[in-house]
Amino acid sequence: MKKEVKYKFGFFFVLAILLFAKSIGQNPYMDSLKSILKSAQHDTTRCSVLNLIIEAEADDNIWPGYNEQLLQLSIKNETLSSAPLKSIYIKYHATALNNIGFLAEHKGDILNALENYHKSLKLYENVNDKAGIATSLSNIGTIYYDQNDINKALEYYYKSLKIREQINDKQGIAYSLQNIGVSYNTKGDKNKALEFYLKSLKIAEELQDKYGIANSLYTIGSIYKSQNNSQKALEYFNKSLTLDEEIQDKRGIANSLYNIASLKLKTGNISEALEYALKSQKTANEIGYPENIRFSANMLKEVYKQQNKYKEAFEMFELEIRMRDSINNQETQKAAIKKQMQYSYEKKELEMKAEQDKKDVISKEELKQKEKERNYFMAGFAIVMLLAIFILRGYKQKQKANLIITAQKLLVEEKQKEILDSIRYAKRIQTSLLPSEKYIERNLNTLKDK
Protein backbone atom coordinates (compact mmCIF):
# COMPACT_ATOMS: atom_id res chain seq x y z
CA MET A 1 0.00 0.00 0.00
CA LYS A 2 1.41 3.34 -1.01
CA LYS A 3 -0.34 5.11 1.83
CA GLU A 4 0.88 4.74 5.42
CA VAL A 5 0.94 1.02 6.21
CA LYS A 6 2.50 -1.48 3.86
CA TYR A 7 -0.11 -4.18 3.51
CA LYS A 8 1.03 -7.30 1.69
CA PHE A 9 -0.41 -10.69 0.78
CA GLY A 10 2.92 -12.05 -0.56
CA PHE A 11 3.27 -15.80 -0.52
CA PHE A 12 6.12 -17.30 1.49
CA PHE A 13 7.76 -18.91 -1.52
CA VAL A 14 7.92 -15.55 -3.30
CA LEU A 15 9.45 -13.88 -0.27
CA ALA A 16 11.96 -16.67 0.19
CA ILE A 17 13.16 -16.31 -3.39
CA LEU A 18 13.54 -12.55 -2.94
CA LEU A 19 15.32 -12.52 0.43
CA PHE A 20 18.82 -12.71 -0.94
CA ALA A 21 18.11 -10.30 -3.79
CA LYS A 22 16.70 -7.69 -1.42
CA SER A 23 19.65 -8.01 0.93
CA ILE A 24 22.14 -6.96 -1.76
CA GLY A 25 20.30 -3.91 -3.08
CA GLN A 26 17.16 -2.37 -4.58
CA ASN A 27 17.82 -3.07 -8.27
CA PRO A 28 18.44 -6.82 -7.89
CA TYR A 29 15.30 -6.95 -5.73
CA MET A 30 13.18 -5.21 -8.36
CA ASP A 31 14.76 -7.27 -11.15
CA SER A 32 13.90 -10.46 -9.25
CA LEU A 33 10.32 -9.29 -8.74
CA LYS A 34 9.89 -8.47 -12.42
CA SER A 35 11.40 -11.80 -13.42
CA ILE A 36 9.00 -13.71 -11.17
CA LEU A 37 6.07 -11.65 -12.49
CA LYS A 38 7.00 -12.54 -16.06
CA SER A 39 7.23 -16.28 -15.37
CA ALA A 40 4.30 -16.55 -12.92
CA GLN A 41 1.82 -19.29 -13.84
CA HIS A 42 -1.07 -18.25 -11.62
CA ASP A 43 -2.89 -14.95 -11.08
CA THR A 44 -2.57 -15.18 -7.29
CA THR A 45 1.21 -15.15 -7.71
CA ARG A 46 0.99 -12.29 -10.20
CA CYS A 47 -1.13 -10.23 -7.79
CA SER A 48 1.26 -10.94 -4.93
CA VAL A 49 4.32 -9.89 -6.96
CA LEU A 50 2.58 -6.81 -8.37
CA ASN A 51 1.77 -5.74 -4.83
CA LEU A 52 5.42 -6.12 -3.81
CA ILE A 53 6.58 -4.13 -6.86
CA ILE A 54 4.16 -1.32 -6.00
CA GLU A 55 5.52 -1.26 -2.44
CA ALA A 56 9.13 -1.19 -3.59
CA GLU A 57 8.78 1.36 -6.41
CA ALA A 58 8.92 4.98 -5.18
CA ASP A 59 8.48 6.67 -8.57
CA ASP A 60 4.89 7.94 -8.92
CA ASN A 61 5.26 7.73 -12.69
CA ILE A 62 6.02 3.99 -12.61
CA TRP A 63 4.14 2.18 -9.85
CA PRO A 64 0.62 3.28 -11.00
CA GLY A 65 1.08 1.14 -14.12
CA TYR A 66 1.65 -1.94 -11.98
CA ASN A 67 -1.26 -0.92 -9.78
CA GLU A 68 -3.56 -0.85 -12.82
CA GLN A 69 -2.50 -4.43 -13.61
CA LEU A 70 -3.26 -5.41 -10.01
CA LEU A 71 -6.69 -3.74 -10.24
CA GLN A 72 -7.68 -5.49 -13.48
CA LEU A 73 -6.42 -8.92 -12.38
CA SER A 74 -8.23 -8.72 -9.05
CA ILE A 75 -11.53 -7.56 -10.59
CA LYS A 76 -11.41 -10.32 -13.23
CA ASN A 77 -10.71 -13.09 -10.74
CA GLU A 78 -13.03 -12.02 -7.94
CA THR A 79 -16.00 -12.56 -10.28
CA LEU A 80 -14.73 -15.97 -11.44
CA SER A 81 -13.33 -17.48 -8.26
CA SER A 82 -15.07 -19.18 -5.37
CA ALA A 83 -14.16 -18.90 -1.69
CA PRO A 84 -11.51 -18.65 -0.31
CA LEU A 85 -9.76 -17.39 -3.50
CA LYS A 86 -12.57 -14.88 -4.06
CA SER A 87 -11.83 -13.12 -0.76
CA ILE A 88 -8.11 -12.95 -1.61
CA TYR A 89 -8.83 -11.21 -4.92
CA ILE A 90 -11.26 -8.83 -3.18
CA LYS A 91 -8.41 -7.82 -0.84
CA TYR A 92 -6.14 -7.14 -3.81
CA HIS A 93 -8.95 -5.10 -5.39
CA ALA A 94 -9.25 -3.06 -2.18
CA THR A 95 -5.48 -2.56 -2.08
CA ALA A 96 -5.42 -1.27 -5.66
CA LEU A 97 -8.23 1.19 -4.88
CA ASN A 98 -6.35 2.37 -1.81
CA ASN A 99 -3.28 3.03 -3.97
CA ILE A 100 -5.40 4.97 -6.47
CA GLY A 101 -6.75 7.03 -3.57
CA PHE A 102 -3.22 7.79 -2.38
CA LEU A 103 -2.12 8.95 -5.83
CA ALA A 104 -5.23 11.13 -6.20
CA GLU A 105 -4.58 12.68 -2.78
CA HIS A 106 -0.93 13.29 -3.69
CA LYS A 107 -2.09 15.15 -6.83
CA GLY A 108 -4.62 17.20 -4.90
CA ASP A 109 -7.70 15.38 -6.22
CA ILE A 110 -9.20 15.06 -2.75
CA LEU A 111 -12.71 14.00 -3.72
CA ASN A 112 -11.37 11.21 -5.92
CA ALA A 113 -9.04 10.13 -3.12
CA LEU A 114 -11.87 10.03 -0.59
CA GLU A 115 -14.12 8.10 -2.97
CA ASN A 116 -11.48 5.42 -3.60
CA TYR A 117 -10.64 5.15 0.10
CA HIS A 118 -14.32 4.56 0.87
CA LYS A 119 -14.61 1.95 -1.90
CA SER A 120 -11.52 0.25 -0.50
CA LEU A 121 -13.01 0.33 3.00
CA LYS A 122 -16.27 -1.26 1.80
CA LEU A 123 -14.43 -4.14 0.10
CA TYR A 124 -12.31 -4.78 3.19
CA GLU A 125 -15.47 -4.80 5.30
CA ASN A 126 -17.10 -7.29 2.90
CA VAL A 127 -14.36 -9.85 3.61
CA ASN A 128 -13.87 -8.76 7.25
CA ASP A 129 -10.22 -7.84 6.64
CA LYS A 130 -9.53 -5.87 9.82
CA ALA A 131 -6.00 -4.80 8.85
CA GLY A 132 -7.31 -3.38 5.58
CA ILE A 133 -10.26 -1.71 7.34
CA ALA A 134 -7.86 -0.02 9.78
CA THR A 135 -5.65 1.25 6.95
CA SER A 136 -8.58 2.68 4.99
CA LEU A 137 -9.91 4.41 8.10
CA SER A 138 -6.47 5.91 8.74
CA ASN A 139 -6.19 7.16 5.15
CA ILE A 140 -9.64 8.76 5.35
CA GLY A 141 -8.48 10.42 8.58
CA THR A 142 -5.47 11.84 6.74
CA ILE A 143 -7.79 13.35 4.11
CA TYR A 144 -9.61 15.23 6.86
CA TYR A 145 -6.33 16.24 8.50
CA ASP A 146 -5.08 17.69 5.21
CA GLN A 147 -8.30 19.69 5.00
CA ASN A 148 -7.64 20.96 8.54
CA ASP A 149 -10.69 19.15 9.97
CA ILE A 150 -8.68 17.87 12.93
CA ASN A 151 -11.59 16.58 15.03
CA LYS A 152 -12.89 14.47 12.13
CA ALA A 153 -9.34 13.23 11.48
CA LEU A 154 -8.98 12.18 15.13
CA GLU A 155 -12.29 10.32 14.93
CA TYR A 156 -10.97 8.13 12.11
CA TYR A 157 -7.48 7.78 13.62
CA TYR A 158 -8.96 6.48 16.88
CA LYS A 159 -11.20 4.01 15.01
CA SER A 160 -8.14 2.74 13.15
CA LEU A 161 -6.13 2.48 16.38
CA LYS A 162 -8.85 0.47 18.11
CA ILE A 163 -8.94 -2.14 15.33
CA ARG A 164 -5.14 -2.39 15.20
CA GLU A 165 -5.01 -2.97 18.93
CA GLN A 166 -7.63 -5.72 18.56
CA ILE A 167 -5.53 -7.56 15.96
CA ASN A 168 -2.21 -6.67 17.64
CA ASP A 169 -0.85 -4.93 14.53
CA LYS A 170 2.21 -3.34 16.17
CA GLN A 171 3.39 -1.34 13.17
CA GLY A 172 -0.13 -0.13 12.50
CA ILE A 173 -0.52 0.88 16.15
CA ALA A 174 2.71 2.91 15.92
CA TYR A 175 1.43 4.75 12.83
CA SER A 176 -1.95 5.44 14.44
CA LEU A 177 -0.29 6.79 17.59
CA GLN A 178 1.91 9.03 15.41
CA ASN A 179 -1.12 10.36 13.50
CA ILE A 180 -3.01 11.06 16.71
CA GLY A 181 0.05 12.84 18.13
CA VAL A 182 0.35 15.04 15.03
CA SER A 183 -3.34 15.92 15.31
CA TYR A 184 -3.04 16.94 18.96
CA ASN A 185 0.07 18.96 18.09
CA THR A 186 -1.91 20.81 15.42
CA LYS A 187 -4.63 21.50 17.98
CA GLY A 188 -1.97 23.01 20.24
CA ASP A 189 -1.98 20.29 22.92
CA LYS A 190 1.80 19.73 23.02
CA ASN A 191 1.83 17.50 26.09
CA LYS A 192 -0.80 15.18 24.64
CA ALA A 193 1.08 15.10 21.36
CA LEU A 194 4.37 14.23 23.09
CA GLU A 195 2.65 11.41 24.97
CA PHE A 196 1.53 9.76 21.72
CA TYR A 197 4.86 10.41 19.96
CA LEU A 198 6.80 8.64 22.72
CA LYS A 199 4.42 5.66 22.62
CA SER A 200 4.84 5.45 18.84
CA LEU A 201 8.64 5.68 19.12
CA LYS A 202 8.76 2.83 21.64
CA ILE A 203 6.84 0.47 19.34
CA ALA A 204 8.83 1.53 16.25
CA GLU A 205 12.07 0.76 18.11
CA GLU A 206 10.74 -2.66 19.15
CA LEU A 207 9.96 -3.40 15.50
CA GLN A 208 13.22 -1.83 14.25
CA ASP A 209 11.09 0.21 11.83
CA LYS A 210 13.56 2.86 10.69
CA TYR A 211 11.00 5.01 8.92
CA GLY A 212 8.73 4.96 11.95
CA ILE A 213 11.63 5.70 14.31
CA ALA A 214 12.84 8.64 12.16
CA ASN A 215 9.35 10.08 11.98
CA SER A 216 8.81 9.79 15.73
CA LEU A 217 12.22 11.29 16.50
CA TYR A 218 11.44 14.27 14.24
CA THR A 219 8.02 14.91 15.79
CA ILE A 220 9.43 14.67 19.33
CA GLY A 221 12.19 17.12 18.33
CA SER A 222 9.50 19.51 17.07
CA ILE A 223 7.74 19.39 20.45
CA TYR A 224 10.96 20.19 22.34
CA LYS A 225 11.71 23.00 19.89
CA SER A 226 8.29 24.56 20.50
CA GLN A 227 9.03 24.34 24.23
CA ASN A 228 12.38 26.17 23.69
CA ASN A 229 14.37 23.10 24.79
CA SER A 230 17.02 23.55 22.05
CA GLN A 231 19.42 20.93 23.35
CA LYS A 232 16.79 18.18 23.44
CA ALA A 233 15.34 19.28 20.13
CA LEU A 234 18.75 19.23 18.41
CA GLU A 235 19.42 15.75 19.80
CA TYR A 236 16.23 14.34 18.30
CA PHE A 237 16.58 16.18 14.96
CA ASN A 238 20.11 14.82 14.48
CA LYS A 239 18.97 11.27 15.22
CA SER A 240 16.08 11.68 12.80
CA LEU A 241 18.38 13.08 10.09
CA THR A 242 20.76 10.11 10.39
CA LEU A 243 17.92 7.64 9.84
CA ASP A 244 16.30 9.75 7.08
CA GLU A 245 19.58 9.71 5.15
CA GLU A 246 19.92 5.96 5.68
CA ILE A 247 16.47 5.22 4.28
CA GLN A 248 16.64 8.08 1.71
CA ASP A 249 13.50 9.85 2.90
CA LYS A 250 14.13 13.19 1.20
CA ARG A 251 11.22 15.05 2.71
CA GLY A 252 12.30 13.90 6.15
CA ILE A 253 15.87 14.97 5.32
CA ALA A 254 14.71 18.45 4.22
CA ASN A 255 12.62 18.91 7.36
CA SER A 256 15.37 17.78 9.73
CA LEU A 257 17.99 19.97 8.00
CA TYR A 258 15.73 23.01 8.22
CA ASN A 259 15.06 22.53 11.92
CA ILE A 260 18.74 21.95 12.72
CA ALA A 261 19.61 25.14 10.78
CA SER A 262 16.95 26.99 12.79
CA LEU A 263 18.42 25.81 16.09
CA LYS A 264 21.97 26.63 14.98
CA LEU A 265 20.88 30.15 14.02
CA LYS A 266 19.10 30.58 17.34
CA THR A 267 22.25 29.65 19.27
CA GLY A 268 24.38 32.02 17.14
CA ASN A 269 26.23 29.38 15.10
CA ILE A 270 25.78 31.20 11.76
CA SER A 271 28.20 29.17 9.61
CA GLU A 272 26.62 25.85 10.56
CA ALA A 273 23.16 27.36 10.17
CA LEU A 274 24.07 28.35 6.59
CA GLU A 275 25.45 24.88 5.87
CA TYR A 276 22.28 23.10 7.02
CA ALA A 277 19.97 25.65 5.37
CA LEU A 278 21.68 25.23 1.98
CA LYS A 279 21.42 21.44 2.26
CA SER A 280 17.76 21.79 3.19
CA GLN A 281 17.07 23.97 0.14
CA LYS A 282 18.92 21.59 -2.19
CA THR A 283 16.85 18.64 -0.98
CA ALA A 284 13.62 20.67 -1.07
CA ASN A 285 14.27 21.62 -4.70
CA GLU A 286 14.88 17.95 -5.55
CA ILE A 287 11.46 16.90 -4.25
CA GLY A 288 9.74 20.10 -5.45
CA TYR A 289 7.50 20.60 -2.41
CA PRO A 290 6.58 24.34 -2.09
CA GLU A 291 6.29 24.13 1.68
CA ASN A 292 9.82 22.74 2.12
CA ILE A 293 11.23 25.27 -0.38
CA ARG A 294 9.53 28.10 1.53
CA PHE A 295 10.97 26.93 4.87
CA SER A 296 14.49 26.65 3.50
CA ALA A 297 14.21 30.05 1.74
CA ASN A 298 13.04 31.65 4.97
CA MET A 299 15.97 30.15 6.85
CA LEU A 300 18.52 31.28 4.26
CA LYS A 301 16.99 34.78 4.29
CA GLU A 302 17.57 35.00 8.05
CA VAL A 303 21.11 33.64 7.78
CA TYR A 304 22.04 36.04 4.95
CA LYS A 305 20.65 38.96 6.98
CA GLN A 306 22.92 37.95 9.87
CA GLN A 307 25.84 37.91 7.42
CA ASN A 308 24.81 41.28 5.94
CA LYS A 309 24.30 39.66 2.53
CA TYR A 310 21.20 41.66 1.67
CA LYS A 311 21.09 40.84 -2.03
CA GLU A 312 21.02 37.10 -1.28
CA ALA A 313 18.58 37.71 1.55
CA PHE A 314 16.22 39.59 -0.79
CA GLU A 315 16.40 36.78 -3.36
CA MET A 316 15.43 34.27 -0.69
CA PHE A 317 12.66 36.60 0.45
CA GLU A 318 11.24 36.69 -3.09
CA LEU A 319 11.44 32.88 -3.31
CA GLU A 320 9.72 32.60 0.05
CA ILE A 321 6.88 34.87 -1.14
CA ARG A 322 6.42 32.89 -4.36
CA MET A 323 6.21 29.65 -2.44
CA ARG A 324 3.90 31.23 0.13
CA ASP A 325 1.56 32.42 -2.63
CA SER A 326 1.65 28.99 -4.17
CA ILE A 327 0.76 27.43 -0.84
CA ASN A 328 -1.98 30.03 -0.23
CA ASN A 329 -3.48 29.18 -3.60
CA GLN A 330 -3.41 25.55 -2.59
CA GLU A 331 -5.04 26.46 0.73
CA THR A 332 -7.76 28.37 -1.11
CA GLN A 333 -8.32 25.33 -3.29
CA LYS A 334 -8.34 23.15 -0.20
CA ALA A 335 -11.03 25.34 1.39
CA ALA A 336 -13.20 25.01 -1.71
CA ILE A 337 -12.51 21.30 -1.92
CA LYS A 338 -13.26 20.91 1.79
CA LYS A 339 -16.64 22.58 1.35
CA GLN A 340 -17.43 20.45 -1.69
CA MET A 341 -16.10 17.34 0.04
CA GLN A 342 -18.22 18.01 3.10
CA TYR A 343 -21.32 18.40 0.97
CA SER A 344 -20.55 15.35 -1.18
CA TYR A 345 -19.59 13.16 1.73
CA GLU A 346 -22.57 14.18 3.87
CA LYS A 347 -24.80 13.51 0.87
CA LYS A 348 -23.16 10.12 0.40
CA GLU A 349 -23.56 9.33 4.10
CA LEU A 350 -27.27 10.19 3.88
CA GLU A 351 -27.63 8.01 0.78
CA MET A 352 -25.82 5.16 2.51
CA LYS A 353 -28.01 5.59 5.60
CA ALA A 354 -31.16 5.60 3.47
CA GLU A 355 -29.97 2.48 1.67
CA GLN A 356 -29.18 0.79 4.97
CA ASP A 357 -32.58 1.77 6.38
CA LYS A 358 -34.19 0.30 3.29
CA LYS A 359 -32.23 -2.91 3.77
CA ASP A 360 -33.20 -2.97 7.44
CA VAL A 361 -36.89 -2.61 6.54
CA ILE A 362 -36.60 -5.40 3.97
CA SER A 363 -34.77 -7.59 6.49
CA LYS A 364 -37.43 -6.85 9.10
CA GLU A 365 -40.21 -7.73 6.66
CA GLU A 366 -38.40 -10.91 5.65
CA LEU A 367 -38.02 -11.79 9.33
CA LYS A 368 -41.72 -11.13 9.94
CA GLN A 369 -42.60 -13.27 6.92
CA LYS A 370 -40.40 -16.07 8.18
CA GLU A 371 -42.01 -15.81 11.61
CA LYS A 372 -45.45 -15.96 10.00
CA GLU A 373 -44.44 -18.99 7.94
CA ARG A 374 -43.05 -20.61 11.05
CA ASN A 375 -46.23 -19.87 13.01
CA TYR A 376 -48.40 -21.15 10.15
CA PHE A 377 -46.32 -24.29 9.99
CA MET A 378 -46.54 -24.82 13.74
CA ALA A 379 -50.31 -24.20 13.71
CA GLY A 380 -50.78 -26.52 10.75
CA PHE A 381 -48.61 -29.13 12.38
CA ALA A 382 -50.61 -28.86 15.60
CA ILE A 383 -53.88 -29.24 13.69
CA VAL A 384 -52.54 -32.28 11.82
CA MET A 385 -51.39 -33.80 15.11
CA LEU A 386 -54.79 -33.19 16.76
CA LEU A 387 -56.55 -34.65 13.73
CA ALA A 388 -54.25 -37.64 13.80
CA ILE A 389 -54.94 -38.14 17.50
CA PHE A 390 -58.68 -37.80 16.90
CA ILE A 391 -58.58 -40.28 14.02
CA LEU A 392 -56.45 -42.69 16.03
CA ARG A 393 -58.77 -42.40 18.99
CA GLY A 394 -61.82 -43.00 16.76
CA TYR A 395 -60.09 -45.94 15.14
CA LYS A 396 -59.29 -47.44 18.54
CA GLN A 397 -62.85 -46.87 19.73
CA LYS A 398 -64.19 -48.48 16.57
CA GLN A 399 -61.86 -51.41 17.05
CA LYS A 400 -63.08 -51.75 20.63
CA ALA A 401 -66.73 -51.56 19.53
CA ASN A 402 -66.10 -54.13 16.81
CA LEU A 403 -64.56 -56.41 19.37
CA ILE A 404 -67.60 -56.01 21.66
CA ILE A 405 -70.00 -56.62 18.76
CA THR A 406 -68.04 -59.64 17.64
CA ALA A 407 -68.03 -60.97 21.18
CA GLN A 408 -71.77 -60.37 21.55
CA LYS A 409 -72.41 -61.99 18.20
CA LEU A 410 -70.40 -65.00 19.23
CA LEU A 411 -72.31 -65.10 22.51
CA VAL A 412 -75.70 -64.97 20.72
CA GLU A 413 -74.60 -67.60 18.27
CA GLU A 414 -73.44 -69.73 21.18
CA LYS A 415 -76.81 -69.32 22.93
CA GLN A 416 -78.68 -70.08 19.70
CA LYS A 417 -76.59 -73.19 19.26
CA GLU A 418 -77.33 -74.25 22.81
CA ILE A 419 -81.09 -73.71 22.25
CA LEU A 420 -81.09 -75.61 18.97
CA ASP A 421 -79.13 -78.43 20.53
CA SER A 422 -81.68 -78.58 23.37
CA ILE A 423 -84.57 -78.65 20.91
CA ARG A 424 -82.96 -81.41 18.91
CA TYR A 425 -82.26 -83.36 22.05
CA ALA A 426 -85.90 -83.03 23.24
CA LYS A 427 -87.15 -84.05 19.84
CA ARG A 428 -84.97 -87.10 19.89
CA ILE A 429 -86.37 -88.06 23.29
CA GLN A 430 -89.93 -87.47 22.12
CA THR A 431 -89.39 -89.46 19.03
CA SER A 432 -87.96 -92.36 20.95
CA LEU A 433 -91.03 -92.49 23.29
CA LEU A 434 -93.80 -92.34 20.64
CA PRO A 435 -94.69 -95.59 18.63
CA SER A 436 -94.29 -95.42 14.96
CA GLU A 437 -97.33 -95.22 12.60
CA LYS A 438 -96.63 -98.72 11.23
CA TYR A 439 -96.56 -100.05 14.75
CA ILE A 440 -99.94 -98.53 15.53
CA GLU A 441 -101.42 -99.65 12.23
CA ARG A 442 -100.24 -103.20 12.74
CA ASN A 443 -101.70 -103.34 16.21
CA LEU A 444 -105.03 -101.97 14.96
CA ASN A 445 -105.24 -104.62 12.28
CA THR A 446 -104.59 -107.32 14.83
CA LEU A 447 -107.42 -106.09 16.98
CA LYS A 448 -109.73 -106.08 13.99
CA ASP A 449 -109.00 -109.68 13.24
CA LYS A 450 -109.96 -110.72 16.65
**pLDDT tens profile 28-39:** 778 888 999 999
Mean of all residue pLDDT scores within the chain? 81
d(CA 206, CA 209): 8
* Residue 35 within any structural domain of the chain: yes
d(CA 51, CA 68): 11
* Residue 346 within any structural domain of the chain: no
Least confident of 57-66, 196-205, 361-370: 361-370
* Residue 14 within any structural domain of the chain: yes
Least confident of 83-92, 331-340, 414-423: 331-340
* Residue 7 φ/ψ, nearest 5 degrees: -120, 110
Residue 420 has pLDDT above 70, yes or no: no
* Residue 74 within any structural domain of the chain: yes
Angular region, 428: left φ>0, alpha ψ -120 to 50, beta rest: alpha
Residue 415 has pLDDT above 70, yes or no: no
Distances (CA, A) of 60 to 57, 92, 206, 213: 8, 19, 31, 24
Tell me which residue range forms the domain holding 19.
Answer: 1-128
* Residue 98 within any structural domain of the chain: yes
> What does the pLDDT read at residue 79?
86
Residue 424 has pLDDT above 70, yes or no: no
**pLDDT tens profile 170-185:** 999 999 999 999 999 9
* Residue 396 within any structural domain of the chain: no
* Residue 264 within any structural domain of the chain: no
* Residue 240 within any structural domain of the chain: no
Count of domains forming the chain: 1
> What does the pLDDT read at residue 394?
64
Residue 160 has pLDDT above 70, yes or no: yes
Q: Residue by residue, what is the 3-state secondary structure of 98-154?
A: HHHHHHHHHCCCHHHHHHHHHHHHHHHHHCCCHHHHHHHHHHHHHHHHHCCCHHHHH
